[in-house]
Amino acid sequence: MNNNTEALSIVKTLVDAGYIAYYAGGCVRDFLLGHDFDDIDIATSALPDDIMKIFPHTIGVGAHFGVVVVVVEGRQYEVATFRSEGGYTDGRRPQHITATTPEEDVKRRDFTINGMFYDPIKKEVYDFVGGKEDLEKKVLRAIGDPQKRFEEDRLRMIRAVRFSCRLGYDIEEKTYKAIQEYSHTVLPAVSMERIWQEFSKMIKDEHFGDAVMMMYDTGLLKAVFPSLEATTKEALEENVKGFTLFSDKVPAVLYVATLFLQKPLEDTLEQCKLLKMSKKERSFVETLYHARDLSDDENTENVSWVRLYADDNTEACLEVLAAYYHEEERSEFLKDYRRKRRLMSSAIGRIKNKTPIVTSAILQEHGIVPGKEMGDILREAERIAVNEMLDDAKDIIKLLQKSPIWPQR
């Protein structure tokens, strides 16, 4: 299975020590589907203390919940004790765990297709919940009572959407109804960081548009983003159509930002903060809004375009905006963008490399002292250079001296 000698060595070591050990969860599902996978989780009858004694390099950060990270050749593998869980009070973590059998362990897991084990030594699959059958039927079904599974971890509702859209599976009726009934409870039980992680995975799977529509239908979308409650289904459908035109250059944050593009920038940035996005991710949103505003203004000066083009985020942002034009207009929009960028390439390079034609040293030669006034004049010098297509400092100075910004001594 996946020819992972490191994971196999962990299983063999545990079995040689007298314990049961299997591969567990998503890797088994993907193995049966013939899909590629990177992560292999291991489930075992060994207790956390036993695991940490057997392996020389471990991280016990999750030992309280029955999980130990075993490090082999610098790579980390989660090794979890077969366990039952109880006392969920926060919609995420159990208050206590109890060691148990593989048959009982699967009852705490989320969906049948994720609830199978694989013995890499005997090369056998152990399925106690009908996961194989649901794979064949292409159905996503919660293990046991779906309401209980979602009460244990509210994020499972969003994961259900992700798996359904990624695999093209229908969500089984009881599971789907439970999501509709409990969708309003996803916050504050689930942190926005975990939600953003799920969104990022959906986007990588290239099914975020389908996921957005399913989240709308189940009530999850307005639960996560209350400000989108008034957005119509038709408007969302038009919005997500653009996703199919996004290339790999478009970061995940811009997919989400398009859902809020009709709202003020401040509102969208606030949503980004709630999702715990990084400063770099938020900068993409600012560039997207800036690019949209410049594109809508026929009187935009060349210098404004140059400053936009000098922003490394611009390429992806203009691609996003182009996706929402009709096909012929989209082609013209991109053609015009490339033409402008080509014509302004030298000015763009100056701004990116911070090598202006008129420098502070030149201004000091003309009696301008460092300070706010000099900063304003330097910006005006660059504006003149770009708009008038000048590349000689003397010519720019002459125009500066005629402008209101030049000090009259």
User: What would the pLDDT profile of 44-101 be if each residue is shown by its tens digit?
Assistant: 999 999 999 999 999 987 778 899 999 999 999 999 999 986 555 544 555 557 889 9
Token couple for 120? 């890499």
CA 363 to CA 380: how far, in whole Å? Answer: 12
Mean pLDDT, residues 357-379: 93
pLDDT tens, 209-253? Answer: 999 999 999 999 999 999 898 899 999 999 999 999 999 999 999
CA distances from 232 to 184, 241, 276 (A): 18, 15, 26
Please, are residues 23 and 117 in contact by the beta-carbon 8 Å criterion? yes
What is residue 94's predicted lDDT score, i.e. its pLDDT? 58
Q: What is the mean pLDDT of residues 325-348?
A: 90
- Ramachandran angles phi, psi of 22, nearest 5°: -135, 160
Residues 51/18, Cβ–Cβ less than 8 Å:
no
CB 304 within 8 A of CB 285: no
Is pLDDT above 90 for 103?
A: yes
Q: End-to-end CA distance of the chain: give it in Å, rounded.
A: 81
Q: Give the model's pLDDT for residue 206.
A: 85
Phi, psi of 78 (to 5 degrees): -80, 125
Structure tokens at 174: 């009881």
Q: Which two tokens stand for residue 143?
A: 């293990």
Identify the residue with better confidence: 261 or 117: 117
